[in-house]
Amino acid sequence: MSAEAIPSAPRDDYTQALVVDSLSVRFGGLLAIESMSFHVNEGEVLSLIGPNGAGKTTAFNAITGYLQPSRGEIRYRGEPLTGLPPNEIAERGVIRTFQKTSVFGGETVLDNILIGLHRKSRQKAWQIILGLPSVYREERQLRERAMEILAFIGLEKRAGELGAALPYGEQRLLEVAIALAAEPTLLLLDEPVSGMNPSETSSFMDKLAEIRKLDVTVLLVEHDMRMVMGVSDRVIVLNQGRIIADGAPEDVQNNPDVIRAYLGDRYQRAEG
């Protein structure tokens, strides 16, 4: 039978990409995360929300290898991530952004992306030193790729400006662009719209819809509820290191425990 005649397998949209199994993280006497279990389905946008200190960033740090859990296991696409250093986790397609901007302020916007792309470049040091034609060819391809990424995120007109010269909202976008340069299959975004104004936030929500079309699974930590409720397929709520709700945005929004622990307070503050 020819390859064309074989019917393609039905796509399983709900295979588990990331599995977090009984994760605990202790800082001295403080149990920041206590026996947390959840999964992220392939292709979905899942948000982790909860009050300050609930353990959201700690969960990100454990998943991406920036800290070692005290207990539990983390698997991505069936392979254990627990114990691997951040660079090896990134090589598996699990890429994160940080709450505080990690843009290189003294480099141009284009160079910020190129630095990310060079980490993936196949050129060896000796090829670069000898100036082989393949080096120039790859350099040109990397620049083209960097400009494509900037165009995708909407920063192509800023390519020649220094990272530090961008307004804060655009620095946050650049950070996402740098993460995209690393070709994530799972992208972890830590408060990507904090400090953005409402119109910047709306366009970021549109951008996120574009990112998921690239078959990128997204795990989001965010306090902006308009964004969370607008982009998420599922929302997990943490409080004091434990999951108190896991469900569709509208279910979580109406969950009395969630309102008591987090949302009620936020909505009151927003109205006040």
Ligand X SMILES: Nc1ncnc2c1ncn2[C@@H]1O[C@H](COP(=O)(O)OP(=O)(O)OP(=O)(O)O)[C@@H](O)[C@H]1O
For ligand X, the binding residues (CB under 6 A) are 27, 30, 32, 50, 52-58
Q: How many Cα neighbours within 13 Å face the side chain of 200? A: 14
The DSSP annotation for 40-101 comes to EETT-EEEEE-STTSSHHHHHHHHTTSS--SEEEEEETTEE-TT--HHHHHHTTEEE--SS-
| Least spacing, CB of residue 53 vs ligand X, in Å | 4
CA separation for the pair 269, 65 (Å, rounded): 35
| Least spacing, CB of residue 30 vs ligand X, in Å | 6
Q: Which residue's CB is nearer to ligand X, number 10 or number 28?
A: 28
Q: Which residue's CB is nearer to ligand X, number 26 or number 212?
A: 26
| Least spacing, CB of residue 50 vs ligand X, in Å | 6
Q: Which residue's CB is nearer to ligand X, number 72 or number 93?
A: 72
Q: Which residue's CB is nearer to ligand X, number 150 or number 221?
A: 221
For CA atoms 201, 206, 210, 216, the dihedral sign is: positive
| Least spacing, CB of residue 58 vs ligand X, in Å | 3
Q: Euclidean distance between the first and final Cα of the chain, in Å?
A: 68
